[in-house]
Amino acid sequence: MAKSIAIVEDDPDQRANYADAITKKGYEVVAYGSREEALVGMNNRLPDLVILDIILGDEVDAGFQLCRALLGKSPSLPVIFLTERIDEIDKISGLRLGAWDYLPKPISLDYLAERISSLLRINEVRSEHSEQESPTAKHVGDLTIDQEALLVSWKGHRIDLSGTEFRMLAKLVRQPGHAVSYESLMNATMQSLVTNNTINTHMRNIRKKFEKVDSAFAGIKSEYGFGYRWWRP
């Protein structure tokens, strides 16, 4: 069965272009032109992935509001922001909400299709391996990380990280106790428009996800002005 993609974009030409390109890649696509329309359309059945613009009609932050509502229903839903708003504060806001990716317009339709494929593959692999530990899993103290299955758990509790967050954590735990520079972490994100503040936001999100299952979590340490390290006793 084809994976379902929802596109929320108020510009009819862009909406049609995205829908056409994604449909040609074999996905089932539903497109919406407003936040209200999208909320109604996705009320009964959520798609496998959502692509959101931020400004929808007269609502300047509609995409943020919609993201918050959708992730409230399904915290592991992959969300991509695709927008002309590329200021750092907007990107940080999107990442704090739990978006998996933040892409600037204009964008190559082939690249967009590749990002969709990558995020869906991550979600699919996680679902396949969620019930049992993979033989490729690595243990670092109370942390279990599997780069093949893209799964993370802490003290036996699964932690759902976005693809970017997973790559950054994997970079940190490669050498526990050793500081990892901002530059190395930027490379690990595989994203453009990355600054130190963006890295800090990712790290804050990762910490919060660990703290949800362990309020005393203190595994990620900041190295002021340099980067971060994974703490080991």
Q: Which fold has domain 4-127?
A: Rossmann fold (3.40.50)
Residues 71, 79 contacting (CB under 8 angstroms) = yes
Quote the pLDDT of residue 6: 98
Helix (H, G, I), strand (E, B) or coil at 233: coil
Ranges of each domain in the chain: 4-127, 131-230
Please list, in sequence order, all residues whose beta carbon lies within 8 angstroms of the beta carbon of residue 101, skipping any fewer than 6 positions away: 80, 81, 115, 119, 162, 163, 164, 191
Quote the pLDDT of residue 128: 66
Quote the pLDDT of residue 192: 65
Which pTM was predicted? 0.72
| CATH 3.30.70.1350, applies to 131-230 | no
Quote the pLDDT of residue 134: 61
Quote the pLDDT of residue 118: 86
Q: Which residues of the chain have pLDDT under 50?
A: none
